[in-house]
Amino acid sequence: MFDPIEYADERMDLKQENELVKWLRQLEEEQKFTFVWRVLNANTWKGCQLTKRSQLKPIFLEVILEKGLVYGDASTVEWWIKAVLQGLGHKRVLEIIKAHMDIAPLCVYKTLYWLPWLYRNQSKKLKNEILALQVEFNQKYPNYQPRRSIGTHA
């Protein structure tokens, strides 16, 4: 059995990482999520890497993305998005980000730099949705200058 805090603090070689992921995938969904969540809280980078490999159900990936949108800063929000992108899909991730437009503009603002890059190999329709999101954000918040890098509001 592995300990999430020890995992977050220690370096592991590839063999150890693979053993942990194999063990993790055998757990019940709630146990798997709890382990990953504890790692995320102790070490964001390792937690995001583990999220990508843990095969969590979409509902748990959505919770992880929501946390990342709020607590990730402008540079680390990319980690959170990448962590869930494969499991949720590009369209669902974009829908979740868009849902924050009116209630948490800082969450959207932090993603605007990364979205074109993360969606560069996607369909023209998705690329147009990102462009539309950028335009809508700039119209609603023309001179947006956040005073904080994390949270939901400037």
3 state SS of 27:
coil
Task: Judge whether 43 lies within some domain.
Answer: yes
**pLDDT, tens only, 39-57:** 999 999 999 999 999 999 9
* Share above pLDDT 70 across residues of the chain, in percent, rounded to a whole number: 98
Task: Judge whether 31 lies within some domain.
Answer: yes
pLDDT exceeds 60 at position 154: no
Task: Judge whether 145 lies within some domain.
Answer: no
Q: Could you tell me the pLDDT band of residue 74, with boundaries at 50, 70 and 90?
A: confident
Quickly tell me which residue has 């990508």 as its tokens: 52
Task: Judge whether 49 lies within some domain.
Answer: yes
- Provide the domain limits for residue 128: 4-140
Task: Judge whether 148 lies within some domain.
Answer: no
Q: Could you tell me the pLDDT band of residue 153, with boundaries at 50, 70 and 90?
A: low
Tally of domains in the chain: 1
Please tell me the distance from the alpha carbon of residue 41 to that of residue 86, in angstroms, as a whole number.
21
Task: Judge whether 151 lies within some domain.
Answer: no
Task: Judge whether 154 lies within some domain.
Answer: no
pTM of the complete model: 0.91
Task: Judge whether 153 lies within some domain.
Answer: no
pLDDT exceeds 60 at position 102: yes
